[in-house]
Copies of this chain bind each other. A is one copy, B any other.
Amino acid sequence: MTEQVPAGRPTLEAVAARAGVSRATASRVVNGGDGVRAHLVDKVRAAVLDLGYVPNHAARTLVTRRTGAVAVIIAEPEIRIFSDPFFSRQIRGISKELTAHDTQLVLLLVEHRGDYGRIERYLAGGHVDGALAFSLHTDDPLPAITRRIGMPTVYGGRPGWTGQADGAAPYGPLSYVDADNRGGAREAVRYLVSRGRRQIAHIAGPPDQTSATDRLDGYRDVLVDADPALIAEGDFTPAGGARAMAELLERCPDLDAVFAANDLMATGALGVLRERGRSVPGDVALVGFDDAELVAESAVPPLTTVRQDIEGMGRLMVRLLLRSLDPAQESHRVPGSVITPTSLVVRGSA
C-alpha cells in the first residue's frame, strides 16, 4: 500500500524507521489500535512528535470510519451566543471533554432556519462523527435532519414539539441532557413563599423552549392559583426582563417577589425596580436561574438563583455521544437521557 504524500511531509514509513519498529506496528499506534507493548508505543509517539507526522486522514477514515471530530450546533443567533454566558460555559465543558478524548470540536452557528440546508449538507458530508446540539426551539428541524442522515446526536435541553410535551415523538427516542428545570423552579418559588412573600410574579422565558415552559410549570406547581396577571414573558435577555418587569409593575403594583426564568432577565428586572424606587430585597425579593458567570454574583445586590451545572452538562453530553460512537457498545446506540439536579444559591436579592 502506497500513500500519496505531498513533498516534504513525513511518511508513516519514516516514523516506523525512526522508532525502530515495523510499519504495521507504527500504523497500529497511530490509528489507536491495541496490542502494542507500552515501550514501543512510547517510541512511535516520540517519532511522530519528532517528525511532525500527520496521519493520512483519508486512509485513516477508511480504516476506522471516523473523522475524530464532533459538531456542536447552537440553535441561536450569534448575538445571543456571545452575550449569554450560558453558551460559553456549555462550550467550555464540551471543549474540555472532547479535548480529553483527542476529538476536534467543530462549532456550527445557526443564524436563521434557512441555514439548516447548508448544515445538513455539511453533516451528511462525513466531516464529523456525531453532533451535539443545544438551545433548540419548538419544531426545530434539526432532529429530523440528524435522523434522516443517521447522525448520532445528543441534545442539550429536552427538544420539544408542538403538542408533544414528552419530547419523544415524532422522531423516536432522542438522547438529551437537561437540568431539572421544573424542580429547580419549584424550589425557587417555595423559598420565596417560605420568606413570607405573597404576591410572587414570574418572568417567563420564550414559550418555544422547554427550559422556559418547564420553569413556568414549576412556578405553577407551587402557586396553583396564581393570578395570570403575575406572569409576563421575556426572551432570556436583560432587555426582555426589563420589559416584562415594567409590565408586571403596571399590572400588579403590589407584587413583593419575582422569580425570573434566567439571571440575564433578572438583571434587567433589577434595573427597572431600581428606577421605580423599589428596594431589592426589601420591597421586592428577586430570584434568577442559571447562576450565570459574571452575572449573578456581580449584580447589585448579588442574585439568589437556581444553579445548574452548565459545564458539567456539556461534559456529560460528550460522554453520552462518545459512548454511542464506541463500536464496542453497539447495544447502547441510543445512549438515553440524563436529568441533572439543580440547587438554590441564596445571596442578597432574596
Of B57, B82, B85, which is within 8 A of A125 by CB?
Answer: B57
CB atoms of A109 and B118 under 8 A apart: no
Between-chain CB contacts (< 8 Å), 5 pairs: A67-B127, A68-B122, A82-B82, A99-B115, A104-B118
Please name all residues of chain B whose beta carbon is closer than 8 Å to the beta carbon of A124 when the two chains form the complex: 54, 57
Given the interface contacts A119-B104, A121-B68, does A126 sit within 8 Å of B57 by beta carbon? Answer: yes
Q: Are A121 and B54 in contact (CB under 8 A)?
A: yes
A105-B108, A106-B108 given; 15 more Cβ-contact pairs under 8 Å: A8-B148, A9-B148, A54-B120, A57-B125, A68-B118, A68-B121, A68-B125, A79-B92, A82-B91, A91-B109, A99-B118, A104-B118, A104-B121, A106-B122, A125-B127
**Residue A146 interfacial (CB < 8 Å):** no
**Chain B CB within 8 A of A150 CB:** yes
B contact residues around A104 at 8 Å (CB): 108, 118-119, 121-122
Q: A58–B102 contact, CB under 8 A?
A: no
Does A163 belong to the interface (CB within 8 Å)?
A: no
Could you tell me the distance between the alpha carbons of A83 and B84 in the complex, rounded to whole angstroms? Answer: 10
User: What residues of chain B lie closer than 8 Å to A139, measured between beta carbons?
Assistant: none
- With A and B bound together, what is the CA distance between A83 and B85 in angstroms? 9
- Residues of B within 8 Å of A228, CB to CB, are none
Q: Which residue in B95, B125, B150 is a CB contact (below 8 Å) of A67?
A: B125
Q: Which residue of B lies closest to A56 (CB)?
A: B124
The residues of B that contact A150 with a CB separation of less than 8 Å are 6
Asked whether A78 lies within 8 Å of B92 as measured between CB atoms, the reply is yes
Among A109, A115, A117, A124, residue most surrounded by chain B Cβ atoms (within 10 Å): A109
Report A72-104 residues with CB < 8 Å from chain B CB.
78-79, 81-83, 85, 87-88, 91-92, 95, 99, 102-104
A58 in complex: contacting residue of B82, B106, B117, B125, CB < 8 Å: B125
B61 touches A125 (CB 8 A): yes
The listed residue (B57, B88, B95, B106) touching A106 by CB distance below 8 A is B106
Pairwise interchain contact B111-A99, C-beta atoms closer than 8 A: yes
Q: Taking the nearest CB of chain B, how far is it from the CB of A292, in angstroms? A: 12
